[in-house]
Amino acid sequence: MKLNFGKTLGISVTAVAALTLSACGSDNNAGAPATSGTGSASAAECGGKNSVTAEGSTAQQNAIAEFNKVWSQLCSGKNLSYNPTGSGAGREQFIAKQVDFAGSDSALKGDQLQQAAERCGGNPAWNLPLVFGPVALAYNIDGVDKLVVNADVLAKIFSGQITKWNDPALAALNAGTNLPDADITPIYRSDSSGTTDNFQKYLAAAAPQSWTKGDGSEFQGGAGEGAQKSAGVVQAVQATAGSIGYVEKGFAEQAGIPFAQIDSGAGAVELTDDSAKKAIDAAQFAAEGNDLTLDLNSLYATKEPGAYPLVLATYEIVCSKGYDPDTAAAVKSFLTVAANEGQQNLSPAGYVPLPDRFKERLLTSVEAIA
C-alpha cells in the first residue's frame, strides 16, 4: 500500500484539522479553539481532562517535550506527563492501564496485540507514527570531510568483514577522496537501544546478503567497541581516530561531528530534513485502516532518488476505542496539536517534521479515536 495520502483522501490538512475540531470536543471543553502565537486558530479543540499520562521511548522524549510545551500554550491548563523509561516499559505500562498512551520505537506485535485490545475494552490499539528521527553515521577520519557509504559496506564494517578505510568497496564509493590505510573502529550502543534495533533492521532490509546477524535492541554485529547511550557514542567517535558510529542526528550536530552520506543505488544522499522526508513519503503501511504500522522494509530498502533511508520511526500507541470521553478528547487534542503546531520547532532538535501527505493520514486516524 503506497502512501498516496493526497490522492486517497482528496482533502487538505486544514480540512482534516477542521474535521478534528468537531470530533474532539467534550462537555468540559475550553470553548473556542485557542490561538497560536501567530494569531491563527489552533487545529485542536481543548476538550477533555487537563492531565494526560504517557510512557516509553527515550528517542522521542525531546519531541514530546516540544509537543507538550505547544499544547499547554494553545490549551491553557493542559499538560502531558511523559516518563521516558524505554519502549518496552511504555508498552507494558499502557497494557497495564497505568498510562493513557505509550511511546514506542516498535509497533505492538505478538501477544501484546491481544493484551492491548483487552486494555482497550476489546478494541484494537493503534500504532501511530508521530516522530521521525534520522540516524546519522558519525565518523572520525582525519582529513576526510565527505564520506559516502552504502548498506552493504556498513553491514560489512559492523560485522568485521571490512576493517580498513581504504578497502576497495569504500574506495569505489568515494572516488576522488584519499581514504587512509587505517583501521576502522565501529562504535555501537552497548546498552539496549531502539536505535540499535532500527539500525540493524535497516542493514537487514537494505543488505540482506551481507547482514545476517538479525536485529533487536542488543547489537549483534560482533565487531567494534560499545558505548552507553547516544551521548556515549558521540564521545567514543570523537575520542577514537578511524571510528564510525550510528547516533541520532541531533546528537551528532550538537557535537559538530561530520556524518556520512548514503548511496542506496541512485547516488550519494546527504542527511537533511528534505532527504529524510523523501524516504518517509516512499514508505508503505503494513495494512489498510487506521492502524499506521509501517512496513519498515519499504522505508529502509527504498531506492527513491534523493531519499535518506536510515530514519527511526517512533509510534504513539493509543486505544482506537475504550477510553472514557474526557480521556479520548484530551488524547486527541494533544495528538492533533503535536501533528500540527508541534512540528514547527522539531528540526533544531534533530527530528524530521512530518511531510504534509503523511500528516493528513495521521490526522485521519487521530480523528477516528473514540
The answer on whether 51 is annotated among ligand-binding residues is no
Short-list 333, 259, 251, 253, CA closest to 74? 333
Q: Residue 338 and residue 326: Cα distance in Å, rounded?
A: 18
Query: Which residues are 81's β-sheet partners?
Result: 53
CB atoms within 10 A of CB 290: 17
191-215, pLDDT tens digit by residue?
A: 888 889 899 999 999 999 999 999 9
pLDDT band at 3 (very low <50, low <70, confident <90, very high): very low
The pairing of beta strand 148-149 with beta strand 261-263: parallel
Q: What's the average model confidence in pLDDT over 208-227?
A: 95
DSSP code string of 184-197: -EEEEE-S--HHHH
Q: Give residue 85's pLDDT.
A: 87
The answer on whether 125 is annotated among ligand-binding residues is no
The answer on whether 136 is annotated among ligand-binding residues is no
Q: What is the pTM of this model?
A: 0.78
The answer on whether 286 is annotated among ligand-binding residues is no
The answer on whether 298 is annotated among ligand-binding residues is no
The answer on whether 59 is annotated among ligand-binding residues is yes
Q: Give residue 163's pLDDT.
A: 98
The answer on whether 195 is annotated among ligand-binding residues is yes
5-29, pLDDT tens digit by residue?
A: 333 333 333 333 332 333 333 333 3
Q: Residue 107 and residue 77: Cα distance in Å, rounded?
A: 31
The answer on whether 57 is annotated among ligand-binding residues is yes
Q: Which three cell numbers stand for residue 124?
A: 484494537
Q: Which domains does the chain have, with CATH numbers?
A: 5-133+275-302+309-368 (3.40.190.10), 135-272 (3.40.190.10)
In contact, 345 and 67? CB cutoff 8 Å: no
237-287, pLDDT tens digit by residue?
A: 999 999 999 999 988 999 999 999 999 999 999 999 999 999 988 888 999
Residue 35 has pLDDT above 60, yes or no: no
pLDDT band at 43 (very low <50, low <70, confident <90, very high): low
Q: State the average pLDDT for the chain.
A: 88
Q: What's the average model confidence in pLDDT over 43-65?
A: 91
Q: Give residue 30's pLDDT.
A: 39
The pairing of beta strand 294-295 with beta strand 185-189: unpaired
H helices of the chain, where?
Answer: 5-9, 13-23, 61-74, 87-95, 111-119, 151-158, 168-173, 194-206, 229-239, 249-255, 273-282, 296-300, 325-339, 356-368
Q: Residue 164 and residue 238: Cα distance in Å, rounded?
A: 18
141-176, pLDDT tens digit by residue?
A: 999 999 999 999 999 999 999 999 999 999 999 999
80-135, pLDDT tens digit by residue?
A: 999 998 888 999 999 999 999 999 988 999 999 999 999 999 999 999 999 999 99
